[in-house]
Amino acid sequence: METRQFLEQGMGKIVGDGRLTMFWTQKWLDGKKLEEHVIQALPEEHATKRVRDYWSLVTGWDWRVLRQFLSSDILNRIASFELVQEDHEDQVTWVADKRGQFTIASAIRVIQCSSPMAETRWRTIWKLRLPHRIKFFLWLFSHQRLLTNCERVRRHIHSHSQCDICHEGEEALDHTFRTCPNARSTWYSMGSEGTRCIEKDASVHDWFQYNLNGHHRDAGWPEKFAIILWYIWKWRCKACFDNNADVPGDRGAFLVARIHDIRTAMEQGVYELTDTSTNLHMTWIKWTPPSAGWKVLNIDGAVMDTQGRVGAGGVIRDEAAKWIVGFSEYLGACSVLKAEVRALLRGLKIAQELGVTKLWIYTDSSTLISMITNPSTWKTEVSPLIHQCVQLLVWPGWETQVSHCFREINQVADKLAKLGLNMSLGVSIYREPPLEVQGALHDDSRGVLWPRMLKH
């Protein structure tokens, strides 16, 4: 067989926002060309549709149309895909053919090997003693994924690229972090150290890399630099969307205090859980409400083994353990991991819409936790979704924390996910707790203790 033909046979698509992928003629779903699986002849006007054309940001897939042409098996598989909002282009990948000559694993290797630079950059960032949230912000910075106005225009989600603070230039990374008056006043507030930092003539990426590499006289400079960048971005977002609310008058004093707090917290291991011993011991665990001002989101995914049906669910409660909102969603057929990620994404969107300002998220999936804290562990099938979750987690409009919790104290979310298994496609929002979760909800609010074997 010709190489080209061979390649085309194995060529598939990983769908991000669905704009670049042909719905019927490209293999974006399980290596199938959907035109070969229609149950009724496809009218000509449909043949050239893209994946995006059957998707609405508000209501999801257009089941009314798709149902006419595809069997329920295939509809179930489609249901497990959620397109992301305009910020993740579809990628070409290879899908396994019948003889197994191309495998997903080899495709993943190709994608990962293609950017050794990205790998090194992540390692530099990963080594810094900073909360994950700031590390992720740095990662977005280094991958040109921060949504500055220039980036928004490139993604067709904004009409102008001018800076909204000074109106004196295009808001690209260089402007946002070095030349805009918002950035300059922050650097100047840090005294000569800050002023020196922006005198350098290098490109914004070289400048970024240089400052994080730790060749500086002050050994703590990379962390300091990162925290200053993070606040420049945070204050830029406040100025653009929030009329400067919460921007401190004395930026320098504020930053010095924050840098000190973060350093102390990292030294005391507040942000990191380390456990190297292998001895097990029995302990008691319980669900605890968040501290004052915080809301807590528990999420979970569920699978019905016999039929491969998958559901997602979650619940948001307040500091008094009071129910705020819950949701259940039927996702069709997909992996449990994908269900966990979908539950996280749905929960974040609902919380954001409610105007939550401090959100603590709990999941019992360690895989999900490691994906949130380290992009090198991202699984290809969920990477567009995880990317969207991360964008929401680092959104400067709120504080977020993500922690692992054990199954025993994630039962309300588990029951909501199981409710999703028996629904038809789509999401249900509960303003009041449904009957099925009331027992577990009551256990949580009373602080019922569960035995658990732990390492110590």
Residues that bind Zn ion (CB under 5 A): 163, 165-166, 180
Closest to Zn ion by CB, 38 vs 166, is 166
Q: CB neighbours of 46 closer than 8 A, spacing ≥ 6? A: 24, 69
Closest to Zn ion by CB, 181 vs 308, is 181
Asked if 137 and 233 count as a contact pair (C-beta separation under 8 A), the reply is yes
Alpha helices in 270-319 (DSSP H): none
Q: Report CA dihedral (173, 175, 179, 183) to the nearest 10 degrees.
A: -70
Asked if 315 and 298 count as a contact pair (C-beta separation under 8 A), the reply is yes
Q: Minimum Å distance from CB 231 to Zn ion? A: 16
- CA–CA separation, 209 vs 117, rounded Å? 12
Q: Minimum Å distance from CB 166 to Zn ion? A: 3
Q: Minimum Å distance from CB 170 to Zn ion? A: 9
Closest to Zn ion by CB, 38 vs 172, is 172
Q: Minimum Å distance from CB 194 to Zn ion? A: 17
Q: Minimum Å distance from CB 453 to Zn ion? A: 55
- CA–CA separation, 54 vs 67, rounded Å? 12
Q: CB neighbours of 176 closer than 8 A, spacing ≥ 6? A: 146, 148, 163, 183, 232, 233, 236
Q: Minimum Å distance from CB 240 to Zn ion? A: 10
Q: Minimum Å distance from CB 252 to Zn ion? A: 20
- CA–CA separation, 259 vs 274, rounded Å? 23
Closest to Zn ion by CB, 118 vs 172, is 172
Closest to Zn ion by CB, 162 vs 335, is 162
Q: Minimum Å distance from CB 181 to Zn ion? A: 6
Burial 399-432 (b: 16+ CB within 10 A, else e): ebbbeebeebbbbbbbbbbbbbbeeeeebbebee
Q: Can you tell me which residue has the tokens 């293609």?
A: 114
Closest to Zn ion by CB, 247 vs 266, is 247
Closest to Zn ion by CB, 163 vs 371, is 163
Q: Report CA dihedral (21, 23, 28, 34) to the nearest 10 degrees.
A: -150
Q: Minimum Å distance from CB 236 to Zn ion? A: 8
Asked if 51 and 23 count as a contact pair (C-beta separation under 8 A), the reply is yes
Tell which residue, 398, 333, 409, 343, has the closest CA to residue 372: 343
Closest to Zn ion by CB, 163 vs 405, is 163
> Strands 295-304 and 358-363: what pairing?
parallel
Closest to Zn ion by CB, 241 vs 284, is 241
Angle between helices 132-142 and 366-373 (to 10 degrees): 50
